[in-house]
Each structure stands twice: as structure tokens, then as C-alpha cells.
Structure 1
Amino acid sequence: MAGSMVQLNRSPGQPWGFRLQGGKDYGQALQVKKVQPGTPAAGSLLPGDTILSIGGTNARQLTHMQAHQLIKSAPTTLQLTLTRAQSTDFSNIKPKGPVKFSPWKQN
């Protein structure tokens, strides 16, 4: 299984700090939906990362709830294998042609 291995560490009872989307029951790969700043996941996971395995278990075979339970039940260390999300930096995109509307322009 190709991908990057990420290991998250937390204190007992501390949340991992990320939300999942997808799963076998949704017909979609498991992905990181959101990462909370200041949590164990911050700096290691990005929204859009695809989770290939959770603690050695193939994530392609997991329903959303099964994946959620595996992650939640990990004591203080969580190993994930993932493929990194593509960059979503759109700051360099500029419109072409005339601006058709402006929220600041009043009639």
C-alpha cells in the first residue's frame, strides 16, 4: 500500500482533532474533512488527505463508523497511512475579462 505514514500522539482523553468524510458505505474513500488547529492532527494532516490505512487496517474496506471507532479507540498513538491532498492554494488565480458584478457597486 503506497502512501505516507503519519503517527499522531495525544494525551489520554484529548481529541485527535480531525473529522472524517466518506467510507465504504458512502462509496467514497475515507478522507480528512477538517483539521482543528492546536490538536495532535494539526501540522500532520490536511483537509482532503485520503486515508489508506488506520493502524494497519485497510481503510478501503471500512465503513465510516468502523473507521471512526478505530480512530476513537486508539489510546495515545494513532498510525495512519495516507496520500497527501493536492494543494488548494488558489491565490494566484485571476479573473479574465471584465468583472460582471461587484458587491460594492451600487445602482
Structure 2
Amino acid sequence: METVEQLVSFHHIQVQLKGGAPWGFTLKGGLEHGEPLIITKIEDGGKAAHCKRLKVGDELININGSALYGSRQEALILIKGSYRILKLTVRR
């Protein structure tokens, strides 16, 4: 019999956005809401849309090399602190 781990496989995707804010995506969830940090919207014509690697539903797990502990506030601070380059790792 298969275990849950065998039935569910995740891919980690590295994304690098350049040029500074606004980055062109919206986050929802976080520890504050008892949910993972999920990308809920990608703005048409924005930097996230142009990179073509982010998708709605991706779970944000790392920002600029810093592992996230699930807090939306923590993620927003790291994103706002990114001036020219934003490096993300998402789980899909």
C-alpha cells in the first residue's frame, strides 16, 4: 500500500525577479490564518508574469535565501526589503 508521501510529490521552483517593486503578485495565508503562504494572484504585465515561472497556487517557502516559518508579516518584510532582485523558492 502506498503512503501519503508516495502519493504526493512536490517540486521546488527557483524564481528570480529583477527591477524592483512592485513585483506583481499577491500572497494569502500564513501562520496568522492557519494556512500556508500561497500566491493568489499574478498581475498581468507585472514582473512575476514576465518571468513565467510563478503560478497561482504556488506555496512560498523561501525569500532571498531565508527559509520562511509561515508568517505572512515575515514574508512581507522580506519582500519589501528587496530593492532590485527578489529571489523566491516556491513549492508546487
Distance (Å, rounded) in 2 between the aligned partners of 1:25 and 1:57? 19
Q: Which runs of 5+ in 2 are unaligned?
A: 1-10
Partner amino acid, structure 2, of 1:49: D
Cα RMSD, aligned residues only: 1.5
- Distance in 2, matches of 1:26 and 1:58, equals 19
Which AA in structure 2 matches 1:35? I
SS of aligned partner of 1:41: helix
1:68 aligns with 2:76: yes
Deviations 1:27-46 (A, max 9, x none): 11111010001111002311
Mark the runs of 5 or more structure 1 residues left unpaired by the alignment. 85-107
Q: Which residue of 2 aligns with 1:17?
A: 24
Q: CA shift at 1:6, angstroms?
A: 0.8
More helix by share: 2
Structure 1 runs of 4+ off > 6 angstroms? Answer: none
Number of aligned residues? 80
Q: TM-score, normalised by structure 2?
A: 0.78
Greater strand fraction, Structure 1 or Structure 2: 2
Residue 40 of structure 2 corresponds to: 33
> With CA pairs under 8 Å and 6+ residues apart, which has the higher RCO, 1 or 2?
2
Matches within 5 A, 1:38-49: 38-42=45-49, 43-49=52-58
